[in-house]
Amino acid sequence: MSLPQPSERAFVPFVSVAAMMKLIHQVGLDRMLRDLADYIEDDFRRWPLFDKTPRVASHSTDGVIELMPTSDGALYSFKYVNGHPKNMRDGLQTVTAFGLLADVATGYPMLLSEMTLLTALRTAAMSAMAARHLAPQDATTMAMIGNGAQSEFQCLAFRAICGIHTVRLYDVDPAATAKAMANLRDQGLTLIPCKTPEEAMEGAQIVTTCTADKQFATILTDNMIGSGIHINAIGGDCPGKTELHRDILLRSDIFVEFPPQTRVEGEIQQLDDDHPVTELWQVIAGTAPGRTAPAQITLFDSVGFAIEDFSALRYIRDRLEETGLYQQLDLLADPDDPRDLFGMLQRARP
Ligand SMILES: NC(=O)c1ccc[n+]([C@@H]2O[C@H](COP(=O)([O-])OP(=O)(O)OC[C@H]3O[C@@H](n4cnc5c(N)ncnc54)[C@H](O)[C@@H]3O)[C@@H](O)[C@H]2O)c1
């Protein structure tokens, strides 16, 4: 007896790691970073429409596992993501992720996707999009502190979106800097390896901190930050996991994604709960100022918010038809008679 075949609605497009890599190469990394920045910016512009909640975090001594849900009323998404700084020593990724996009009207999933690569792209696109609003307009040089898995994506997004052409790289582990230098060769960037974070800061108008440590860390001290700098701080994204000395925060105009999440996870966990911050979406919507003076120190206190993943999944969904880079997963039990789930099981008996 042949098994009953799943109905069309039971299949969910699945984008594997292999398919995602093909998709990125087919679209082109630069175009994809720019497109993702535009998708995120569009969604930030309609921010009030979204369901927003701080991500649900499950902490352990080794790291964190988080769920990041949101919805705009038509589409729903969530991402599963971990952060385990000690993983690298065991030959594992610090951050891995996958995510799902669903139709709010039926609750049926529409897309399941790998999101480890997609998170690296969306984080870089988000950082560069924020810098488009906050960094000095004539910025050409970025200090890149922390040269791990995210770092090349950050450098390339700042080149593609903000016109950065020189990157000064520093990592406590010189092997990480050597890896990033090799990966970024022939990408149209001037690359300068540095022996100290202070050296990396020389002549930079933008600094990205992208390190991974579970303890309160001080990657940048106050004396390293001159006037007019834009700080893109992405590695401080968990309670107890920060990168900047508190004094830098007190001298900066601080821009955040979603304050209820950032006050717990971001650099501003070091400040009083009512310390003034600006929500980045308001800058994008034109209701709050971004950079207003050349001497101003701007800080994007990035932790990563669910809407950025929603935008990234929406972008992948929009590319599925033209690329065909997915496989159909038999993910949902969907009997012809919706009330006959048991009958469907019975008919499948060998
Ligand atoms: N804000 C966001 O949206 C977002 C998104 C993804 C990842 N992250 C965070 O970004 C960070 C980096 O992620 P990754 O995947 O690149 O991690 P990774 O482990 O691959 O790389 C981290 C690098 O930081 C270096 N490092 C550690 N301490 C340092 C120090 N004091 N000075 C200079 N370098 C130092 C390590 O040697 C390593 O090369 C993590 O903390 C992660 O949680 C944030």
Residues 17, 152 within the same domain? no
Which pLDDT does position 285 carry in this prediction? 97
**Domain-located, residue 122:** no
On whether the CB atoms of residues 220 and 248 are closer than 8 A, the answer is: yes
In angstroms, rounded to a whole number, what is the distance separating the alpha carbons of residues 125 and 312?
Answer: 10
**Domain-located, residue 2:** no
**Domain-located, residue 58:** yes
- Amino acid letter, residue 263: R
Average pLDDT over residues 320-335: 94
Per residue in 143-200, pLDDT tens?
A: 999 999 999 999 999 999 999 999 999 999 999 999 999 999 999 999 999 999 999 9
Q: Quick one: which atom of ligand 1 is closest to the CA of 173?
A: 37
* DSSP element (H, E) containing 191: strand 190-193
- Catalytic residue numbers, as ranges: 237
Residues 70, 140 within the same domain? no
Q: How many of the other CB atoms lie within 10 Å of CB of 5?
A: 8
Residue 310 half-sphere exposure toward CB, CA atoms < 13 A: 25
CATH number at residue 317: 3.30.1780.10
Which pLDDT does position 7 carry in this prediction? 73
Per residue in 218-241, pLDDT tens?
A: 999 999 999 999 999 999 999 999
pLDDT of residue 245 exceeding 80: yes
**Domain-located, residue 274:** yes
* Spacing of C-alpha 20 from chain mean position: 16
Q: Quick one: which atom of ligand 1 is closest to the CA of 219?
A: 31
Q: How many of the other CB atoms lie within 10 Å of CB of 45?
A: 13
Residues 206, 285 within the same domain? yes
In angstroms, rounded to a whole number, what is the distance separating the alpha carbons of residues 81 and 62?
Answer: 14
347 Cα–ligand 1 center, Å:
51
Residues 243, 170 within the same domain? yes
Question: Residue 10's pLDDT band (boundaries 50, 70, 90)?
Answer: confident
CATH number at residue 133: 3.40.50.720
Q: Which of 116, 150, 307 to mutate to test the pocket of ligand 1 (most atoms within 8 A of CB)?
A: 150
Average pLDDT over residues 278-295: 97
Residues 79, 140 within the same domain? no
**Domain-located, residue 271:** yes
**Domain-located, residue 3:** no
pTM over 0.85: yes
pLDDT of residue 132 exceeding 80: yes
329 Cα–ligand 1 center, Å:
33
Residue 149, domain extent: 127-304
Residues 292, 340 within the same domain? no
212 Cα–ligand 1 center, Å:
4
On whether the CB atoms of residues 79 and 312 are closer than 8 A, the answer is: no
Residues 17, 95 within the same domain? yes
Residues 164, 312 within the same domain? no
Which pLDDT does position 3 carry in this prediction? 61
Residues 70, 169 within the same domain? no
Per residue in 21-40, pLDDT tens?
A: 999 999 999 999 999 999 99
Per residue in 92-125, pLDDT tens?
A: 999 999 999 999 999 999 999 999 999 999 999 9
Residues 320, 288 within the same domain? no
Residues 155, 258 within the same domain? yes
Which pLDDT does position 1 carry in this prediction? 52
**Domain-located, residue 173:** yes
195 Cα–ligand 1 center, Å:
18
Average pLDDT over residues 125-137: 98
Q: Out of 286, 304, 322, pick the residue that ends a domain.
A: 304
Number of domains in the chain: 2
**Domain-located, residue 1:** no
Return the residue whose CA atom lies nearest to atom 9 of ligand 1: 235
Q: Quick one: which atom of ligand 1 is closest to the CA of 85?
A: 19
Question: Residue 216's pLDDT band (boundaries 50, 70, 90)?
Answer: confident
Q: Give the residues surrounding ligand 1 with Cβ less than 6 Å away.
A: 83, 88, 94-95, 119, 123, 145-151, 171-173, 176, 210-213, 217, 219, 234-235, 237, 302-304
Residues 296, 152 within the same domain? yes
